[in-house]
């Protein structure tokens, strides 16, 4: 029996129409385009303005995009994994609703939350299901409506985040392509540095927590930046060494799009030339669970069958890691 590997075979994406540019943010908080661009690399971000639409809408649109482009019957999907930090509701699974809405009624589904590492962890999970031989089609969606948890009077966070969704399909591969290796880590020391303080079981929602604005994301930017730079770079360097890869062997780096300086530090540690480092942070900002699949979607046309791709991410918790994957197809 041939060894089964798990390969990405299709990609989809969706971003809302509304563009929140740095120039617009200048009218909302005490900041400016030069300051934002020089420190983050972000020029604009997309915002889902419809109050009656949540993360599920973004995910459904990305999934439908994938299904249409790949001409796949949703009834063929065995499992849908929903990577998100902003589910529609605290209890009812967003992924379950998304699966039903796209017609994937033969699939089981659940949500996976690891902050900005959610999609990276989801790649590992999806691959494991495929490699087990039990499932043939696993749809992994990364989606977040970050605007729903951002305080637009807080200039330290509102400049960073945007809304969006991306989706990939994992299927069995018998040519040795797909996911090759992973290095995933977490450390609870990060619990207090990047969080939403209230709304969970520890600090339930009350009139006071709402009045005190404790339901939006807050972060200690300097601490998060320090940990992100170190751990994303360490993980990416380790995955190269463990697989005897040199910088020449790497075709593309697909990093989490949180801050251009973090991306640059990771690429520098890997000794990669700029042309191999894929970024769209200037267009979307940090879309949390959606950053990696949006990069895949935007640059899918560059990928060739057999290309070596290194994925890297860092998120609240703290969570981080790197994945080594060989691309499985040439885009038609």
- What is the set of active-site residues? 116, 256, 286
What does residue 10 show for φ and ψ, rounded to 5 degrees?
Answer: -160, 155
SS (H, E, C) 95-127: HHHHHHHCCCCCCEEEEECECECHHHHHHHHHH
Q: Are strands 252-255 and 178-186 parallel, antiparallel or unpaired?
A: unpaired
Token pair 């990928």: residue? 303
Question: Residues 41, 260: contact at Cβ < 8 Å?
Answer: yes
What DSSP assignment string belongs to 49-102? --TT--HHHHHHHHHHHHHHHHT--GGG--EEEEE-SS-SSSSS-HHHHHHHHT
Q: Report in angstroms the alpha-carbon separations of 142 from 26, 41, 52, 169, 279.
A: 29, 22, 20, 12, 17
Question: Residues 215, 198: contact at Cβ < 8 Å?
Answer: yes
Structure token pair of residue 304: 């060739």
Token pair 């699974």: residue? 93
Token pair 């796209």: residue? 102
């Amino acid at each position: 029996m041939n060894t089964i590997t798990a390969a990405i075979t299709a990609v989809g994406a969706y971003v809302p129409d509304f563009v929140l540019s740095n120039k617009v943010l200048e009218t909302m908080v005490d900041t400016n385009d030069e300051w934002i661009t020089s420190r983050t690399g972000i020029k604009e971000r997309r915002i889902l303005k419809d109050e009656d639409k949540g993360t599920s809408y973004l995910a459904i649109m990305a999934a439908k995009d994938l299904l249409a482009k790949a001409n796949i019957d949703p009834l063929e999907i065995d499992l849908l994994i929903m990577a998100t930090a902003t589910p529609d509701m605290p209890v009812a699974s967003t992924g379950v609703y998304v699966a039903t809405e796209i017609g994937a009624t033969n699939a089981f589904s659940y949500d996976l939350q690891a902050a900005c590492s959610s999609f990276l962890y989801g790649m590992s999970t999806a691959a494991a299901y495929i490699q087990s031989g039990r499932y043939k089609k696993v749809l992994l969606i990364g989606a977040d409506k970050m605007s729903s948890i951002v305080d637009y009077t807080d200039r330290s966070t509102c400049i960073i985040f945007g809304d969006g969704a991306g989706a990939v399909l994992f299927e069995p591969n018998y040519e040795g392509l797909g996911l090759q290796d992973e290095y995933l880590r977490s450390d609870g020391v990060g619990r207090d540095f990047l969080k939403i303080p209230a709304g969970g079981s520890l600090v339930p929602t009350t009139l006071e927590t709402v009045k005190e604005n404790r339901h939006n994301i807050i972060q200690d930017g300097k601490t998060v930046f320090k940990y992100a730079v170190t751990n994303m770079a360490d993980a990416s360097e380790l995955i190269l060494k463990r697989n005897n890869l040199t910088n020449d062997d790497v075709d593309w780096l697909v990093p989490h799009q949180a801050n251009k300086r973090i991306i640059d530090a990771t690429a520098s540690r890997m000794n990669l030339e700029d042309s191999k480092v894929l970024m769209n942070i200037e267009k979307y900002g940090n879309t949390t669970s959606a950053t990696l699949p949006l990069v895949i979607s935007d640059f899918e046309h560059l990928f060739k069958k057999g290309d070596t791709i290194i994925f890297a991410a860092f998120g609240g918790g703290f969570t981080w890691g790197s994945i080594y994957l060989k691309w499985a197809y040439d885009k038609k």
